Structure 1
Amino acid sequence: MTHDAPNPPDPLPATGAHGTEADGRRLTTRETAERLGVKPETVYAYVSRGQLTSRRAPGGRGSTFDAAEVDSLSRRTGRRESSAAAAGELVFRTGITLIQPDRYFFRGVDAAELARRHSYEEVAEWIWTGELHRGVRFTAPPESLAAARHTAAALPPHSSSTDRLRAAVAAAAATDPLRFDLSPEGVLNSARGLLPTLVGALPTAEGADVDLRDGDSLASQLWPRLCGVRADAASLAVLDTALALLADHDLAASTLAARVAASTHAHPYAVVSAGLGALEGPLHGAASGAAHRMLSEAVGRGGAAPVVADHLRAGRRIPGLGHRLYTGEDPRATVLFALLDEVPQAAPALEAARAVVATAARHTPLHANVDLAMAVLSVACGMPAEAGETVFAVSRTAGWIAHAMEEYVERPLRLRPSGQYTGPRPPQPLPPAG
């Protein structure tokens, strides 16, 4: 997961022998590097990524660069690329999420407070548009929902929820003839229909009483896909808040994958498919399953100490603890733990989670992350181990769409890094026929 630093200073005014960005003159490599605040080597890295266009200088000595294009790149990168490039990282300017050591923000608003006070749909609209629409609900187009359900149901019984979500996205895309409309309104129309389609394509849990009505929240629609017991108001509030909290988290691996897809002007469904592919890695969205299994074991064994000891003895990291972006407890976990305190049946799992944190603290200075909080919900309500991943995937779809909308207005195909070839030096002889 990549952390976007706090807002950078505005780029310095363009100066130098070749004038301002408006005069159309060319800059030398040295002048371009100075204007961007990077090394000359980094200028050519921008060229290889497709972020700058070079032209051979008169006489064939060196390259020149368009001043307007250089200044546009400077505004986008905020002159932060120098250290990031040296570290081999990609850095983007984004107006969606800012992460600080102990909190995070959606479009400048405290995300935890936003999720406490507003539904997932309202938070999604805020992330997409910067506008808050009270009581907004999303509706699945009937043709899209039917195709997604049919396709997801055709998978083998052992298929995971993420398998079914990927299949549902592909089916929904095929039914949307306007999927290549990348205008903001076109993308939003697709997104508002895709989210309830994804949820509606998931099978209902065994014993679940599905009595949904038009206008039900996405959390209400998702609950019977996760749990066979009807949700009480407190439990449903936890799920809805979790969806809102997880909607975006800057440039996590799946979001980067989504932005790469968007940089090719792939349609929103393809962007979501790219995000789902990266999400399924055990170090990303699937991490919540490990926390669920660990917490289930702690509850079953009547204490956290033996479970933590087993992990330490085997040299395994303790699931649900630690986050590279937060110095203390993950603020998303803090919000969910407070809400879980209001859910009576969550008490044993919540006690076990706190015991895991306290026991582990004797050996490692790690705090609870959102995976542990999601594990409390899934263990307490009898959900499967993959429930957290399902919630994550549905929720983060909103963030992937928001990042796609940002990427669509950037220079196409700009996310093209160069490979450092380490294979045999050419020319090599042709291999013998087998």
Structure 2
Amino acid sequence: MHDQEPVRDRPGRRLTTKETAEVLGVKPETVYAYVSRGQLSSRREPGGRASTFDAGEVEALARRNRRESAGSPGSGGELSVRTRITLIDDDRYFFRGVDATELAVRHSYEEVAEWLWTGRLTPGVTFTAPEATVEVARRAVNALPEHTTPTDRLRVAAIAAAAEDPLRFDLSEQAVLNSARILIPTLVAALPPKPFGNRDDGTLAHRLWGRLTGREADEASLRALDTALALLVDHDLAASTLAVRVAASARAHAYAAVSAGLGVLEGPLHGAASGLAHRMLLDVLDRGTAVPVIADELRAGRRIPGLGHRLYPGEDPRARVLFALLEQVPRAEPALLAARDIVATTARHTSLHANVDLALAVLTASTGMPSTAGETIFAVARTAGWIAHALEEYGERPLRMRPSGHYVGPRPPQPLPE
């Protein structure tokens, strides 16, 4: 037997007071309050004593109420979140009101992270972790199977670092920042080093370099990696950042909040894009032209990785900065030409600009890094942004990230299943 079609979904039907209250999620008395305020009209059917309501008008009021609830502070079901961290506007983005690309070009990743956290620049700052914390994280990561993904390794390292920190449940700003300054270098140090890459001094970018490639680090490549980290430190409420804020809203400690972000990041629609672009670049380099590669992608029903961004109708500012730096990187020219070929080939049918995933793929493909390196760079970089959002959320009402479910299942009471 098929479920009956909901009354409110039938064209031309009118709703009873009880049905109207269910759609609006209010008590029946509130329905009449809407009528008295002129927000809802009612009428009595001939021969009937009860009021009925136009289904379309009720649904429109319900949608309006949901929109207003989403924008109201502390409403519990909000989809819009107040933040002072990142603004994306008119093909540009800003960290605490300052152009993010200018910050990334002029300052190290650690300096940009400190700006994001505190609103103050700390020239020359570097993040270091106690040897005991690093050792615990390394042992945990080394126990994983060889085929473990980089994001899995980072998540395990974060859990191990949390277990080593007895102050992790202190959510005061200074305690959280102290944990963050230890967590980020621990994530890097816990990754298996490449040959000649087992160093734990210098900038975070220099240490990360030795975990991503066995090639010697040249100045231009290191600068590109450091700038990429700074460019990717935050990007408003991406899916992983929202997960972090939900965890922080429940007062999970900073390590747990970062773990929530890493869990979402591993999804194929979020963190894996640069890896797909990396493999596509290698395919173009192998075939000598982008034409058959693009054709194969489209024939398989896949979108072309590394192109377009829903927040930037024009050029992705992160890609623009990173491509400019890659012009100075030795051995990057073939991958840069392949990236330009991809953009030019797709431009015959659709005007899509290269995004930061394609620029990141040029960096990883031209420096001997694996296809997973972009995901690692992204995760390490974004950890600082997640900490900033967790800190901001700790200052809000607890458990405010609690939307109400809009039930659309069978109307109760239903008979017990046989």
Output the TM-score relative to the length of structure 1: 0.80
Aligned-pair CA distance for 1:92: 1.0
Match of 2:351, SS? Answer: coil
Matching residue within 210, 219, 230 for 2:197: 210
1:89 deviation in Å? 7.2
How high is the sequence identity, in percent, across the aligned residues? 67
* Closer/same/farther in 2, CA of residues 217 and 326 from structure 1, 3 Å limit: same
Q: CA RMSD in A?
A: 2.6
> Is 1:357 the equivalent of 2:343?
yes
What is the distance in 2 between the residues matched to 1:351 and 1:197? Answer: 36
Whole-angstrom distance in 2 between the partners of 1:385 and 1:370: 15
Structure 2 partner of 1:7: none
- Cα distance, 1:213–1:91 mapped onto 2, change above 3 Å: closer
How far apart are the structure 1 equivalents of 2:262 and 2:231?
18
Query: 1:95 maps to which residue?
Result: 84
Alignment of 1:301-340 (within 5 A): 301-340=287-326
Amino acid at match of 2:382: R
Match of 2:133 among 144, 147, 150: 144
AA of the residue aligned to 1:305 = V
Match of 2:352 in 1: 366
Show the counterpart of 2:103: 114
Q: Report deviation, 1:162.
A: 0.4
**How far 1:423 moved relative to its partner?**
2.7
Letter in 2 for 1:392: F
Preserved CA contact (<8 Å) 2:110 2:125: yes
- Once the two structures are TM-superposed, the CA of residue 424 in structure 1 deviates from its matched residue by 3.0
Q: C-alpha separation between the residues in 1 aligned to 2:283 and 2:78?
A: 38
Q: 2:160 aligns with which of 143, 149, 171?
A: 171
Q: Displacement, 1:315?
A: 2.6
3-state SS in 1 of match to 2:93:
strand
Given that 2:111 and 2:125 are in contact with CA atoms closer than 8 Å, whether structure 1 keeps it comes out as yes
Q: Work out which of the residue numbers 372, 375, 381 in structure 2 matches 1:389.
A: 375
User: Deviation at 1:46?
Assistant: 9.8
Distance 2:175 2:318 in 1: 31
TM-score (norm 2): 0.82
Q: How much has 1:310 moved relative to structure 2? A: 1.6
Return the index of the structure with the highest Cα Rg.
2
Provide the rounded CA distance (Å) in 2 between the counterparts of 1:211 and 1:187: 28
> Is this contact kept in 2: 1:321–1:367, CA < 8 A?
yes
Report the secondary structure of 1:128's partner residue. Answer: helix
Asked if 1:286 corresponds to 2:275, the answer is no
Structure 1 regions of 5+ residues with no counterpart? 1-28, 52-72
Match in the other structure for 1:425: 411
Query: Which blocks of at least 5 consecutive residues in structure 2 are unaligned?
Result: 1-32, 40-59
**Is 1:132 the equivalent of 2:94?**
no
Q: Distance in 1 between matches of 2:189 and 2:227?
A: 20
Q: Does 1:188 align with 2:177?
A: yes
Letter in 2 for 1:406: E
How many angstroms apart in 2 are the aligned matches of 1:43 and 1:303? 51
Q: How far did residue 419 of structure 1 move?
A: 1.1
Give the match for residue 11 of structure 1. Answer: none
Give structure 1 regions of 4+ aligned residues with deviation exceeding 6 angstroms: none
Question: Which residue in 1 is equivalent to 2:263?
Answer: 277
For the residues of structure 2 that align with 1:111 and 1:309, how far apart are their CA atoms? 36
2:402 is matched with which residue: 405, 416, 419? 416
What is the aligned length? 366
Are the equivalent residues in 2 in contact too, given 1:45–1:417 (CA < 8 A)? Answer: no
